[in-house]
Structure 1
Amino acid sequence: MNKFPLFFGIFRLACEHVLRTMRRGRETLLTLLEAFVYDPLVEWGGAAGGGGKRRTTARDVRAAVAMMAVRAHELKHHFNEVTEQFLAVLPDIKQCAEDWLKENDELKSVETRLQDCHQQMALIKEIEAYGPNLNNHPLYAISQKYTSYKQAKNAVEDSMKMLVKILKDFDTQIESFASTTEAINGPQLMAWVQEFSGSNDEEEQPIFEHIKEFLTNAGQGAMLSQCEQAETELYQSMKQTHHLVRSCLELLSQYVAVSQYYPQSHTEYHRVVMFRKCLAAALESRSPEVCREVASQVTAQISVDNNKDDTSQQIINYNYRLQNMNAEANANLNKAIERLQLEGGPDALALAQEAYREAKTNISNWVRTEEGAGAALECVVIGMLCNLNRRYLMLENGAQSAGDCLVDLTSREGEWFLDDMSALSMQAVELLSLLPLQSASAEDAAMPVAVECVRNANLLLADLVQLNYNFSTIILPEALKKVHSEDPSVLLMINELNAVIMNSPVPLNELLTQLEMHLRYLVMDMESPASGAPLLAAEVRARYEALLSASTSEAEGQSAGRMLLMGFNGLFAAVELRARELADHLAIPIPPAWRKIDHISESMHMSAALQSPVLRAVLEDIFLVRRVQSIAEVFAMVAQCACAFKANGPPSLFDDAALCKPVRRFSAEYVSRCVLGVHSKALAAVLCLLLRRARLDLHAEVEQKEIGASWSVSLESLCEKARRRSPAAERGAALARALQAARARVQRAARALAAHARRAAAAHRARLTHAAHSHLHAEVLGSSQESGAALLRRSRELSNAVERLSAASSKAGALLTAAHQRVKWGAGANPALSGVAACTLAQKYSLKVSPVEESLMEMLHPEGNIDTQWGNNLASEFLSQEKTVSDQIQALWTTRDHEVAVSEARDAAAALLDGLAQHHDALLQLHSNWVSESGARKLTRQQALTAPGKTNAIRQGGERNAVGAGVWKRVRLKLEGRDDALSQRRHALHDQRVLDTCATLGGSEQTEPRPDPGYTEQLSGRRRPAEGRRLRQIILGVVVRAARRGDPRPGDLATRDPVTRDPASWRRDPRL
């Protein structure tokens, strides 16, 4: 080194540093060098079979990923340290940044003030430069300018404060209106109404009745009279308050009913809301331009509201028409009330039903008691059914000839034709119920089919009547209310329905024309030019059903629009479903001879199109399109009424007849196309079957009257031939006529009630609509706010009543307190009160003293109040008892512990005597058996370490080195901080210590004699417990260690190594 002085510089220092670093991490360095020498992952040579670039394989990718993972793991600790340092510095950086921003703001403010000071200084210098000519400087008049500026500034601030106050008032009004509307439109109002709907008579319990005798005997008559007077005043105040509360709730209910017709846009564009928006815009900008614009908007709004000449006239005309409709509805309601009174009043239906049940009971009793009454009654019923069928056929012929005027066809009594048909059908079904149909069905299989057809036709007519009734009383009022109030869900539903109609392949009217043409060609059995019409109708049906199914996806919380559409469609769907059930019973077997009977021939002529399933399918498509048209037409008319109600459209106003006309038109057309002839044909077939059952040869009767080609046999003449003259028949006819009269009375009462309900709903709707329109346009109409004034007056009355009630309650409470004190004072002088006081005390305190408190009081009753001394005495008592009980428990546990210890010692001694010799022999044979058994046993813990050694063959590119993989595994464990060799060495040292201890124990046992029975007795008697426990712990430690190494047999204890390794490494093991 002395020959080369150049090396005594930086290079030498660098080399020494490298050597120190290598010595410090020599284990890691050597392991890494070994990994590179064995080359487990990196291919240093070229491809097999020659030079050139080798293609990347999956193994190379895995190797690269593994190397990257190793590098990431190496950097993990450094990254964590950097992250911790960065996180530790971050709060300081944040604090410094905040301090800097704060100081920067202060600097800017100081600079601003400095600039102002410079300007002021420049102004002062300028004034100094003027000298005596200061009058010419602008600053000379600064006081007057400042005064004007200050006045303007104060005026602006005052205006801003006033505007803010007005804005707060507007916000208060809007919030109060919203909260009030939510309260009265929710369930709270109904809860209040139900709470105050009942009487408060049960609350009028006498307060001073129980002490009346006591006060009288005590000479307190004045106090008693005062108490009774106060009690009377209190009850009167309660009654008055209750009455006023009910009146206010009624007014609120009326207001809610009227307010439900208010459109939401009226609230959104109300003056208060609009002014509030203008004020908010002015306050937000605070610029003169915006203020002038807001002022112009307010002026324009006021001028528009004041100059509504055309709109005002339209509003007045609409209100006048609403008033006329209201008067007309009230007149119709009065007529319905008079009709109901003629039928027997509100209880008319119940009385009529009672009379009908009595008439039916009379017939049942007569049939059961008199012989031959059943046959006589059957003959009478056949004649009555024949007359009913004739009347029904006359109604059907009139309906068929009415054509398009069928929707307005009424009887002489003013009843619509559909109501008359339903009433006659119901009478026929009731008469059929008197016949023994079960026995008749057993004799003739066609009888149940015909009877079921009659009943289904009756149910179909009832569904059509119910369709019109439910629409006029439920659907129409709800639709008017929701559309007038601009419910978003209802408006969305109407738009979706209109979209279904507009998006149909062809207009609905044209589609109906094609379907009618297709139906005519099918009836004539010709090829139809409109054969594609059913496909178009099916597409319309699919779109409409998709609109309906959209509501079923909302399992909970369905919108009002969806529910309204589903309810409206449900009325039509019930009719369609009933018609399908009726179609299943239309195939009544009609013999050819019966077709010449007049009732059957006429009915078959009217119901010819219903006999074919193909024609019925086309009719279903037609009426589906009619249904969609009717629903859309109703909603369109309601929307027009709502626009006219707000004065935003043409003054269109439709009465109830016009609004119900689309549904009545649908019902009339449905009856004329799908119902006429069905009921009369089925009833005629039932009559023919009954005549055949009565031993009347219909075939022979028809053949006897065969004259010409257009001849027919009267069903009335056939029924007359089957009729029997007898006193029983006359009795049966009288009873049947009484039953028919009772049934007619029931139907009249039901019609009167239905008409009353329908017209009451119409009158109520007209009254609410007129009141809502009057309140909505009160400024134009000049109508007095009667409801608002009434509410205000009732609220003042209610406030006064509440004050009176509070005063009466206070007075009664004071007198009650005085009377209570008097009773307490007289309790000692009057022994009669002791029993009552005892019961009162028992009832008062028995439920308020718990068992724990009762035991405390019984254990140490206090002489006075509960104080600290009493608590200390009680605590000392508890401590003494607790100590006594604890000593007893400890004594018991000590006895039990001794017993357990003795039994455990005896078991341990027996185990030592049995297994100590075997363990001793196994330990002595450990070194001699190790070598002999190691060759025969297979070590399978680490397969990589027992792999064959490295061969001299040339390794190919795709071959993996097992030794290199093992080296790489050790490198990875070392880098991860999990050195498996170190842990193995630690386990080996621990096992060596255990083995040395066992060997020492075995050697000592060889020198010591075996224990005699006396020593065993000493162990069982626990005379040397410490030595026994120590010996037991040593043996158990050996057994546990052997079990942990996976060897359950004590004899093999010395044959297993804690860590399996290469056999060559056994010679390096210090234990061997």
Structure 2
Amino acid sequence: MALPGEVSASDAVTIQSVGNTITILPTKTKPKKLFFLGSDGRNYPYLFKGLEDLHLDERIMQFLSIVNTMFTKINQQEQPRFHARHYSVTPLGTRSGLIQWVDGATPLFGLYKRWQQREAVLQAQKAQDSFQQQPVPPVPRPSELYYSRIGPALKAVGLSLDVTRRDWPLSVMKEVLKELMEATPSNLLAKELWCSCTTPSEWWRVTQSYARSTAVMSMVGYIIGLGDRHLDNVLIDMTTGEVVHIDYNVCFEKGKSLRVPEKVPFRMTHNIETALGVTGVEGIFRLSCEQVVQMMRRGRETLLTLLEAFVYDPLVDWTAGGEVGFAGAVYGGGGQQADSKQSKREMERDITRSLFSSRVAEIKVNWFKNRDEMLAVLPQVEEAVEEYLVLQELLCQGEKLQAKLQEEMAFLEGAENHPDHLIVTLEQRYSEHTQLQSRQRTVQEAIQSKLADLDQWISQYQAAFSNLEATQLASLLQDISSPIDLGPPSYVPATAFLQNAGQAHLISQCESLEAELSSLLQQRRGALRGCLEQLHSYATVALLYPRATLLLHRAHQWKAWLEELLRDMTVEHCQHIYRQYEVLFGPQPPAASCQFLSSVELTLQHQVADTNERVLHQAERLKAEGTTAAACEEQLQEIEHCITVFLRENGESGSLSLAGIITSALCTLCRRNLVMEGAAASAGEQLVDLTSRDGAWFLEELCSMIGNVSALATLLQRCPLLPHDLELPAPSATAQAVYLANAVYTCLQELNTNFRQIIFPEALRCMVKGEPTLESMLAELEQLVEQSSDGLGLQGLVDSLQATTGLDHDGHNHCLHISRMLRAQYSELIQPRSIDGPSQDTPKMSAGQMLLVAFDGMFTQLETAFGQLTEKLSSLDVPSAWRKVDVLREARATQLHFFDSLNQRQLMEEVFFLKRLQTIRDFFRLCSSFAQTLSGTCPSAEDLLPTNGPVGLGKPLYRRPSATGSGVAVVSEEQMTRPIKAFTAEFVRQMLMGLPSQALGLALCSTLSALGLDVVTQVEAKDFGAESKVSLDELCKKAVEQSLTSGRVSQLLLNRATVLASSYDTAWKKVDLLRRLDANLEATKASL
């Protein structure tokens, strides 16, 4: 069969085969694109189109072929040539046909849509301020674009889209058309033609060919009344510049009768016009149009003859108002036409139904007969299948029986032919087998008996050990240690009777027996007391054993091995268990384990020796003071009594004198406190290791200093002062800020002290013992941190939050949200839970939870105290002139972070909440490492940790034995307390630094104002120079001098007040020193 539409000068090209791939296009009629393999080896693409009659397109193609024939003569003289690009159409009936696929041609709508997509991507990149690759966004369809502009335009003139289109004002539609033309570049097609060419000469040739092809198709379309020329029906070949028109369904002026009538003779938009070149329509386009019309006029007889067939051909509906093809489908035809088509469809439907009914009636008899035959045959088939299955089952059983008999026959034949066959010794082997079975049963019974004994021993030990954990042992020891009162002997009431009866010898016998009984009872009580003391000593150590230690006992090991033997009693398994026994209970333990335990013991001895040395040193230092804290407290109380008498006797003058002296002393302490804070600030991250010349940690010095300040401030509050200005902060309010700063330092000191005295011993005991509730709580905490920290970890969250501290952007919002969510989940974690189920009214806290809650409570107390301090300082209405006092300015300069805003305070609270969690985790990790080291577990080579890396949970700090003899690095008490010290140092450095000095400076300024000195006036009078600050020392001297000058105080009273204040200060410092020495000595003793 010849290929449709292919004409060859030689042999005709036939269809060799059809391609395997068929593409369905996404249009209304779902046309299929397929390939024919020609006999010349080439692939020919075609479009199979159904549900349409293609005879009209075939006639139009014939018309274009005749027009091209008319161009033959002029094409011999003109370049580029005149040519109407067409394609072959082969109708296959009234409802389908084949259309030759036009290769290399691009629809004009594709150019327009690509421009829309480019513009959308560019706008998206500008909106995101990024030039990264963006996905192609959806673009509006032409109808959507038009209605998005015509809608507002109609609304502006008082109309809506519901109004019939023929009633739309022409001026509005023209205005919208102009807007769309201005919004669309006019050089889209021109640029595509230019980009498809490689040389100027090629571009010139393509442009000329495009202009001539446009002219030819425009004039031919005008002659045949071609309409429906939307952008999908106009294609252009970029390589040659030729224009290709498709879909000729709307011909012969049918476009004028559409709902939106087409009144233009052909399509000439600004994009098509721009692509014609600089001359536009007034160049080769106009000349070509004139020449085409002239040639068609000369051959009009031929063309009219061809077109006359359309008058009588039913392919064309000449009824006015009828719409066909794509335009009719899109816009809809007239009402009368629609009614006629509707009636025609109904008629066809009725005809089809009648034909279907008649066909069903024809085949009904045969189908009913077939049904009856099937109903009769199916039961017979079912019976035959069941009979076949029964026979098949019998056959399978027979085959199995035959195979078994053949196997037995072969066995018997072998026994008959071979004298050494196994069946000969069957009786002997069966006898041996029964003997072995009997022995095995005996062994199993012995194992069962031994297992029962082991279970009884283990249960008795566990019961006894549980009694050790209770308080019953201590009460028994107390009872047995107290003397027993036996009362009067039992024979005393009968003494007189026996003597009167002459039986005095019985009395002596009773006395000897009573003495012997008392002696035996005392011996028994002594033996019991010795047993209880030994049991108490054992319990003191045994209660610290890890719970897993019981599993390492011989009884537990034997029980596990015997149970394994019962499950698998083979020779190989018995040998394996024996080898395990030799490893665990050999006469000589492994050398590595011995070396590890010896190293641990040596290290612990060194640590105990160091602790003893510190105890002796601190005891000597306390003894060198030559007094006690109680005596110094009595002396301090006497001085306080003298001060009370002085204030009562001298009235206002005495109060002002003592207040002036205390203010000067506080000013000196404020200077010293600034120096200490400056030293702490310069230490930076090494603040945790900062100590004084006496070896005291920096926190002790700062706490002693702020305690001294607080004591003097309390003494100052006992002195009635002059009425103060209501616009200035009251002395009581500023003194409250000093007390709150002292409370923060007290919380820090209690955090370290209570940790050493309460949390640290209990945590270490629980970790060494292997308290399951604590281990589960720590595991939940680890899981909580891993799940909630968003992969950053606690340190990553802290770094992220601190990196954005003080900035105004929202970069830390994500980390802040994570931290707050972590705080909420952590608070829920440490809440009491119902252990016995939801029916329990008051949930009880486990041992691990109580420890964790107590540990966290100390941090919470510190956070609350610091919040009160910052709120108090923020609430004070401080005059701006006070800010220029040197003490306040220098104190503010030492602050690492400022807490003037609520957001900044909340941010730093979240930072130190994360540091709190990190501190808790680090401490318990070190405790776990110490506990595992004490358990005597010698880590393998793969468990060795790096010397400077983080310590994992449950991993001991261990290093290989070196040549110098140092083997094991046991975590010391100082190392385990270092996380708390590090937290304290970071809190002082980042949060507290500078705030106590500011509080004291404000208290001094308010006190000076209450002493009668106008601080604001003094500051403004001395506000000069580049630094613009005033010395607080000079203000204090000025206040005292002003009081002397005004006569409110006398020099004598000042001298007496100086002696009293100095004595009070000296006595308080002595008491504070002795208290600190006592506390340090007790803490060091507790370490032993």
Tell me the TM-score normalized by structure 1.
0.52
Report deviation, 1:186.
Answer: 1.4
- Cα distance in 2, alignment partners of residues 205 and 159 from structure 1: 60
SS in 1 for 2:560: helix
Percent of aligned pairs with the same residue? 27
Contact preservation (8 Å) 1:373, 1:728: yes
- Note if 1:297 corresponds to 2:586: no
1:613 maps to amino acid? L
- The AA in structure 1 aligned to 2:796 is E
- The C-alpha deviation readout for 1:348-395, integer Å capped at 9, x for no partner, is 444443443333233223322445433332222222222222222221
Alignment-derived partner of residue 604 in structure 1: 892
Match of 2:827 in 1: 545
Provide the C-alpha distance between the structure 2 equivalents of 1:731 and 1:243, rounded to a whole number of angstroms: 68
Runs of 5+ consecutive residues of structure 1 not aligned to the other structure:
1-136, 764-1072
Q: Distance in 1 between matches of 2:925 and 2:754?
A: 19
User: Could you say which residue in structure 1 is the equivalent of 2:1063?
Assistant: 738
Change (3 A) 1:158 1:575: same
Structure 2 counterpart of 1:618: 907
Q: Does the alignment pair 1:181 with 2:465?
A: yes
Q: Aligned partners of 2:806 and 2:864: how far apart in 1? A: 25
Q: Which stretches in structure 2 are left out of the alignment for 5+ residues?
A: 1-422, 945-955, 958-969, 1041-1048
Task: Report matched runs for 1:1022-1061 at 5 Å.
Answer: none
Q: Which residue of 1 aligns with 2:818?
A: 536
Give the structure, 1 or 2, with the largest relative contact order (CA under 8 Å, sep 6 or more). 1
AA aligned opposite 1:661: R
Preserved CA contact (<8 Å) 1:634 1:662: yes
1:414 CA displacement:
1.4
Residue aligning to 2:598 = 316
Q: Counterpart of 1:264 in structure 2: which amino acid?
A: R
1:330-729 matched pairs, under 5 angstroms: 330-342=612-624, 348-371=628-651, 372-436=653-717, 443=724, 445-503=729-787, 504-505=789-790, 506-522=792-808, 527=809, 529-549=811-831, 551=833, 555-587=842-874, 588-607=876-895, 609-646=898-935, 647=937, 649=939, 650=944, 651-652=956-957, 653-703=970-1020, 705-710=1022-1027, 712-723=1029-1040, 726-729=1051-1054
- Aligned-partner residue type, residue 990 of structure 2: R
Q: Which amino acid aligns with 2:903?
A: V
Check the 8 A contact 2:722/2:1011 in 1, yes or no: no
Deviations 1:22-81 (A, max 9, x none): xxxxxxxxxxxxxxxxxxxxxxxxxxxxxxxxxxxxxxxxxxxxxxxxxxxxxxxxxxxx
Equivalence for 1:752: 1077
Indicate the residue corresponding to 2:558 in structure 1.
275
Distance between the aligned counterparts of 1:344 and 1:205, measured in 2?
52
Is 1:208–1:228's contact at 8 Å kept on the other side of the alignment?
no
Amino acid at match of 2:663: I
Distance in 2 between the 1:226 and 1:600 partners?
A: 95
Q: Find the counterpart in structure 2 of residue 994 from structure 1.
A: none
Q: Is the 8 A contact 1:586 1:611 kept in 2?
A: no
1:265 to 512, 532, 548: 548
Asked if the contact 2:893–2:994 (Cα under 8 Å) also holds between the matched residues in 1, the reply is: yes
SS in 2 for 1:589: coil
2:472 corresponds to 1:191: no
Structure 2 contact 756–1083 (Cα < 8 Å) conserved: yes
Specify the code of the residue in structure 2 equivalent to 1:673: Q
What residue number does 1:167 align with?
451
Shift of 1:480: 1.9
The alpha carbon displacement at 1:196 in A equals: 4.7
**Kept in 2: contact 1:260–1:481 (CA 8 A):** no
Shift of 1:425: 1.4
- CA offsets per residue over residues 398-456 of structure 1, 9 Å max, x none? 11111011101111121111111112212222222223469559745532221111111
After alignment, is 677-686 or 215-224 more displaced? 215-224
The 1:627–1:436 alpha-carbon spacing in structure 2 relative to 1, beyond 3 Å, is: closer
Task: Give the aligned partner of residue 85 of structure 2.
Answer: none
Note if contact 1:167-1:276 (Cα within 8 Å) is conserved in structure 2: yes
> Hey, what's the Cα distance between the residues in 1 that align with 2:1004 and 2:994?
15
Tell me the amino acid that sits aligned with residue 296 of structure 1.
Answer: H
Normalising by structure 2, report the TM-score. Answer: 0.52
Q: Do the aligned partners of 2:622 and 2:1074 also contact (CA within 8 Å) in 1?
A: yes
The answer to whether the 8 A contact 2:919-2:983 is kept is yes
Note closer, same or farther for the CA distance 1:580–1:139 as it changes in structure 2 (3 Å cut).
closer
Report the structure, 1 or 2, having the larger helix content.
1
Q: Secondary structure at the match of 2:872?
A: coil
Task: Tell me, yes or no, if the aligned pair for 1:376 and 1:732 is still in contact at 8 Å.
Answer: yes
Q: CA deviation at 1:334?
A: 3.6
Spell out, residue by residue over 1:630-658, the C-alpha distance to the aligned partner (whole angstroms, 9 max, x if none): 11111222222233333154451311111
Deviations 1:695-720 (A, max 9, x none): 22333443554452125433233323
Partner amino acid for 2:775?
L
1:515 and 1:165, CA in 2 relative to 1: closer, same or farther beyond 3 A? same
The Cα of 1:477 is off from its aligned counterpart by: 1.9
SS class of match (1:509)? helix
2:912 maps to a residue whose letter is: F
- Tell me the alpha carbon deviations over residues 218-264 of structure 1, each in whole angstroms, 9 at most, x when there is no partner: 79987777777776666666666656655544443333232233222
1:738 is displaced (CA, Å) by 3.0
Q: What is the Cα deviation at residue 748 of structure 1?
A: 2.4
1:171 and 1:532, CA in 2 relative to 1: closer, same or farther beyond 3 A?
Answer: closer
Count the aligned residue pairs: 614
Asked whether the 8 Å contact 2:596–2:938 carries over to 1, the reply is no
Q: Distance in 2 between matches of 1:634 and 1:159?
A: 52
| Aligned 1:795-874 pairs, distance under 5 A | none
* 1: CA distance, partners of 2:447 / 2:496: 68
Q: Please, what is the CA RMSD of the aligned residues?
A: 3.7
Q: Is the 8 A contact 2:674 2:997 kept in 1?
A: yes
Deviation at 1:585, TM superposition (A): 0.4
Would you say the 8 A contact 2:806–2:904 is kept in 1? no
User: Deviations for 1:777-816, whole angstroms, at most 9, x for unmatched residues?
Assistant: xxxxxxxxxxxxxxxxxxxxxxxxxxxxxxxxxxxxxxxx
What is the CA distance between 1:330 and its match in structure 2? 3.2
CA displacement at 1:288 relative to structure 2 = 4.4
SS, match of residue 434 in structure 1: helix
Question: How far apart are 1:305 and its partner, in Å?
Answer: 5.4
Matches within 5 A, 1:56-205: 159=443, 162-196=446-480, 199-200=482-483, 203=485
Q: How does 1:191-230 map to 2 (within 5 A)?
A: 191-196=475-480, 199-200=482-483, 203=485
Q: Distance in 1 between matches of 2:637 and 2:494?
A: 58
Instruction: Letter of the 1:361 partner, please give it.
Output: H
Alpha-carbon separation, structure 2, partners of 1:195 and 1:394: 60
User: What SS is found at the alignment partner of 1:549?
Assistant: coil
- Which residues in structure 2 correspond to 1:883-962 (within 5 Å)? none
- Counterparts of 1:140 and 1:552, CA distance in 2: 68
Return the alpha-carbon distance in structure 2 between the equivalents of residues 761 and 225 of structure 1: 57
